[in-house]
Chain A
Amino acid sequence: QVQLVESGGGVVQPGRSLRLSCAASGFTFSSYGMHWVRQAPGKGLEWVAVISYDGSNKYYADSVKGRFTISRDNSKNTLYLQMNSLRAEDTAVYYCAKGSHLVATMRGIDYWGQGTLVTVSS
């Protein structure tokens, strides 16, 4: 069965960096686009970034563009999110999620991890 396990969350000071990882199993990781979606406490879902199956295409939400970088290692079945210059408003649960298609778009996000909490606070 599909499993997505996030790690790397925690408490970090404003302006610092953090890297999230997502270990994928149960499907052919290299054949699907992958997303990061976040949810601030008590708020709705916010799409963060997507990467195509081969890493050649990446797209970002305006709120993180230039600060966050999505990447993947298909040899390790792992998705990453490098987060720099963190702000208090980046505080959220970050979900790793599998796209239903190989390209970097949003036809449907069919599997989600359980999420990892990132808290940006001094």
Chain B
Amino acid sequence: QSVLTQPPSVSAAPGQKVTISCSGSSSNIGNNYVSWYQQLPGTAPKLLIYENNKRPSGIPDRFSGSKSGTSATLGITGLQTGDEADYYCGTWDSSLSAGKGVFGGGTKLTVL
């Protein structure tokens, strides 16, 4: 059971928009930055969004991130078949004992 909750799967048609949610708590998302990762089949993860809403160079503006309270959202517009992948949110969890990194369980995006 992941500390961060993501929907197992989402789907949409090419050209459409999709959002992926990531729900946490005050000890993690509520008080720390959120990042998002794309993992294409058989490859290493790739950073899409860092510090809630910033895109690394080379990431198209079709990808966007937002955070509100203890939840975060990844948005993808103009869906392409090449966007079919697993998407993960991640953040720091500042619990009582010691901090730790945490990921969501992942969301499989299908472009119909």
10 interchain pairs, CB-CB under 8 A: A44-B86, A44-B103, A45-B106, A50-B101, A59-B98, A59-B100, A105-B32, A106-B35, A111-B47, A113-B44
Q: Does A72 sit within 8 A of B, measured CB to CB?
A: no
Residue from B2, B37, B98, B101 having most chain A Cβ neighbours under 10 A: B101
Question: What residues make up the interface of B, taking CB atoms closer than 8 Å to A?
Answer: 2, 32-33, 35, 37, 39, 44-47, 49-51, 54, 56, 86, 88, 90-92, 98-106
The one of A44, A62, A110, A115 that contacts B50, using a Cβ cutoff of 8 Å? A110
Q: Which residues of B contact A100 (CB under 8 A)?
A: 47, 50-51
Contact residues on A (Cβ < 8 Å of other chain), bracket: 20 to 34
Map CB proximity to B onto A105-120 as digits: 1 under 8 Å, 0 otherwise.
1111111111100000
Q: Which residues of A contact B45 (CB under 8 A)?
A: 37, 45, 95, 109, 112
The one of B2, B35, B91 that contacts A44, using a Cβ cutoff of 8 Å? B2
